[in-house]
Structure formats: structure tokens, C-alpha cells
Amino acid sequence: MRRAIILLVVFGFVELIRPLGSSGYGSQALLAFGFLILAAYTVGEIAHAIHAPAIVGYLAAGVIFGPVGLQSVSNNALTQLEPVSGLAIALIAFLAGSELRWDQLREEWVGLLKIMGTELALSAVGLGTVLYLASNYIPFLHGRPTSEIIAVTLLFASVAIVHSPAVTIALLSETRAKGPVARTTLGVVLLADIVVVLLFTAAMASARTFAPTAGMADTSFIRIGWEIIGALIVGAILGAGIALYLRFVAEELFLFAIVATFLGAEIARIAHVEVLLTLITAGFVTENFSRRPHSKALRDAMERSAAPVFVVFFALAGAKIDVATVVVLLPVLVPLALVRVGAIWGGTHLGARWARAPETERRYVWMGLVSQSGVAIGLAMIIAETFPTFGGSLRSLLLALIALNETVGAILFRRALVATGEVPANPGGVSEPTHVSVIASDEPLQG
């Protein structure tokens, strides 16, 4: 109750101050940023108090105070705060890469690939088949040529199978979970994040064949290859540079963490390579080619600097959820979401049996693969820009599905970590995110 009262008081002050920004006094974006930190953090604490993930609270704060709610954060402010989302994704990618230690990964990669490959294949086939068969009952697909329906099916499946490194990393940091389920889930999510970029690129090229559109961007194999291989090269160079800094300087790591990730993301965009893969590679190289005390100090500094950015990132994601669209599409969304969850459960179970993983991982890892977030949203936006005839409608369907999966998935993953006993007795609440070395713990998967 005390937190709710404080939030109402802050909201009242912001509503009194906000008209000054529209009159030219001060910055609406800075006001929105500060308010989102306080509001999302407070709602996150309320969610944590009722044993829900803090991330759900952050998302709820975005919906409540965003353009579709109380409008304390306007669409214009959301646009101006886009760099915050970019920085958050860069930090998440770098931290995710730093979790991959070569000495443990080489023992586990075969098992992780078996789980990931089976789960992604079953999900893609299941979701694509259901959407194609239900096309006559989906308004924007009814009556369209078969070729366009095939194109939409390929694009939808390539985005709907995406997982969420952001939610996974945030929940592991929030709960401080360590153990085989946490380790395997993170490994599958990170490997899948690389694979889905390739699958999406292939789906885009195939969709252009079935539904050609004038003025489409270049999709040559040379460009596609550069986006992937170039990201590995640029990321390796960036990681080597960071490792050298840690070896010979290792000062002002708090500020250096922000500058390094933001600079890495900008270099990736300038070089036209995949940003997430670039930062994941940079984190991996930094972790594996630096002295352990130095790399740990950088991770700790990065997590301290990332804490408020992550809060705002998820609040912004919540503010972009169109509740009206979600409600209208519920008759389509619910079956698709159930098929996706069922495919993830079945594929993960089969893959874990194939990998001879322990029973605990067979039962619970799937619960950490339901969430979707920033990467899936970005891919949906690309579809809308590339295919004007049906891209906007497909984006609405995907964003509604992502919103549902992001909320439900966070709750499921937290329950899985608690059920397996991988959450410490005193996880420390939502205010002290700490590094989670999940790749380096417990017994490895068997190939």
C-alpha cells in the first residue's frame, strides 16, 4: 500500500509539471525517463511482493502510464527514448556473450544444439501450419492469393519462434538463480538468437519470391553473409580492444561499460552488420581473453550501469503494447499461443531426451523459452517496412503475440527456477541485480 501511495503522489507531481514541457520549458523525454524509472521500479516491487516477476511489473507500468493508458508518457517521448532501448539491447547482448565460457561451452554445445534444433523446428512447423490452415479465418489473409499466404506464413513462423535474451538475463539477475535449468535455458536462448537471425533472413528472401514488392532492399547472399560474418569479425575486434583496455588500464569501468556497449552498437550499425551478434561476440571474446578478476569487474560495473536502463527498457516495451489490438486478436492469439507453448514443450522435451539431459531439465527448461521481447519486435517492424500490402497487419498480429508471450513467459520461467530450487533463499528483491554465472555451474549436458 505504501508503494502504491508513493506512486500516486509521484504521478500527481508529474501531471502538474508535464504541461510546462509542452510549453517549451524543459524536456518531455527527460521527464518521461525519470518518471518511468520511478514508476516501473515501484510497480516492479509491487509485483515482486505478490511473487510475480519484477519484469511483469515493469511492463504493466508501461501499459498503465503509456499512450494507451494514463498518457503520462507520450508517443513523442517514446520516440525520443529509443536510444535507451538500443543501449539496453546492447548491454543485454554483451552480458549474454560474457556468460559463454569456452571451456564449459565446448562440453555442452552438442546437447544445447539438440535441444534448440528440435524445439525451433517443431515450433516453426507447428505455427506455420496452424496459420496457413486458419488463413480463411484471419481478416487480413482472407481472400488473398496462396502465394501471399505462404509468404506471410514463412515470415510469421520465423518471428514467432524467437526467444528473449532480455527477459532471460533480467530474470536470472533478479533471482540470482544458478543451476542446470538456468544454465541450459540461457545457452539455448543465446544459440537460438544467432540461428533465428539466419532463419529470418532466409524467410525474408523466400517471402520476396512468393510476394514480390517494388522497391525492396537488396537481399543478395553477399549482403546476408556480411551481416553474419561481419558481425563476428567486428565483435571479435571490439572484444579484443576491451580485453586490452582491461589488461593495461582497467579504470573508470562504470563509465567505460556504457561507452563500450553504445560504441559497439553504433559501429555495428555503421558497418551494416547484425548488432546483437556483434555484441554477443564482443562479450564472449572479452570474457575468454581477459583475466578473470578484470572481466568480472567489468561485468559488475556493466550490471550496475544497466539496472536503471533495463527497468526503462521493459517499461518502454509495455508502453508500446496496443491493448485494443491484443483484445481484438484474442480469438486468433490464444490458439497460436497455445500451439507455440505446446511446440516448445514438446520440442524441448524431445531434444533433452536426445541430448540425454537430466529429468529436471526435460521438465522445466521449456518454461524459460516462452518469452519474447526486443529482437522479435524489431523483426516485426522490418516486415512491416518491407511488405506494405500485408506487413502492417502481420506486425499487429506479431506484436500482440509477443506481448502475450512476454508476460506469460516471465511468470513461467520464474516458477521453473523456484520449482527446481535454483533460486537462493534470499534473492535480494528487484533492487540488486547481480551477475549470474550459469554457464559455469553444475554438470554439463551429454552430447
Q: If you average pLDDT over every residue of the chain, what do you get?
A: 76
Q: 133: burial class by Cβ within 10 Å (0-12, 13-18, 19+)?
A: exposed
What is the longest distance spanned by two Cα atoms in the chain? Answer: 65
Q: 267: burial class by Cβ within 10 Å (0-12, 13-18, 19+)?
A: middle
Which grid coordinates are listed for 187?
545457452
| pLDDT tens digits for range 40-56 | 878 887 777 777 767 77
Residue 75 CB: number of other CB atoms within 10 A? 13
Give the pLDDT confidence score for residue 428 in this predicted structure: 47
Reply yes or no on whether the pLDDT at 119 is more than 50.
yes
Out of 61-70, 113-122, 161-170, 304-313, the most confident range is 113-122
Give the pLDDT confidence score for residue 224 in this predicted structure: 63
CA–CA distance, 206 with 91 (Å, rounded to integer): 32
Give the pLDDT confidence score for residue 346 in this predicted structure: 93
Reply yes or no on whether the pLDDT at 414 is more than 80.
yes
Q: Quick one: average pLDDT of 54-59? A: 77
Q: What is the 3-state secondary structure (H, E, C) of the chain?
A: CHHHHHHHHHHHHHHHHHHHHHCCCCCHHHHHHHHHHHHHHHHHHHHHHCCCCHHHHHHHHHHHHCCCCCCCCCHHHHHHCHHHHHHHHHHHHHHHHHCCCHHHHHHHHHHHHHHHHHHHHHHHHHHHHHHHHCHHHCCCCCCCCHHHHHHHHHHHHHHHCCCCHHHHHHHHHHHCCCCHHHHHHHHHHHHHHHHHHHHHHHHHHHHHHHCCCCCCCCCCHHHHHHHHHHHHHHHHHHHHHHHHHHHHCCCCHHHHHHHHHHHHHHHHHHCCCCHHHHHHHHHHHHHHCCCHHHHHHHHHHHHHHHHHHHHHHHHHHHHCCCHHHHHHCHHHHHHHHHHHHHHHHHHHHHHHHHCCCCHHHHHHHHHHCCCCCHHHHHHHHHHHHHCCCCHHHHHHHHHHHHHHHHHHHHHHHHHHHHHCCCCCCCCCCCCCCCCCCCCCCCCCCCC
* CA-based nearest residue to 203, from 158, 161, 163, 160: 158
| pLDDT tens digits for range 295-340 | 777 777 777 766 777 777 778 777 777 777 677 777 888 889 999 9
Cα angle 384-390-393, degrees, rounded to a multiple of 5? 75
Reply yes or no on whether the pLDDT at 262 is more than 50.
yes
Give the pLDDT confidence score for residue 218 in this predicted structure: 47
Give the pLDDT confidence score for residue 25 in this predicted structure: 41
Q: Which domains does the chain have, with CATH numbers?
A: 2-80 (no CATH), 85-419 (1.20.1530.20)
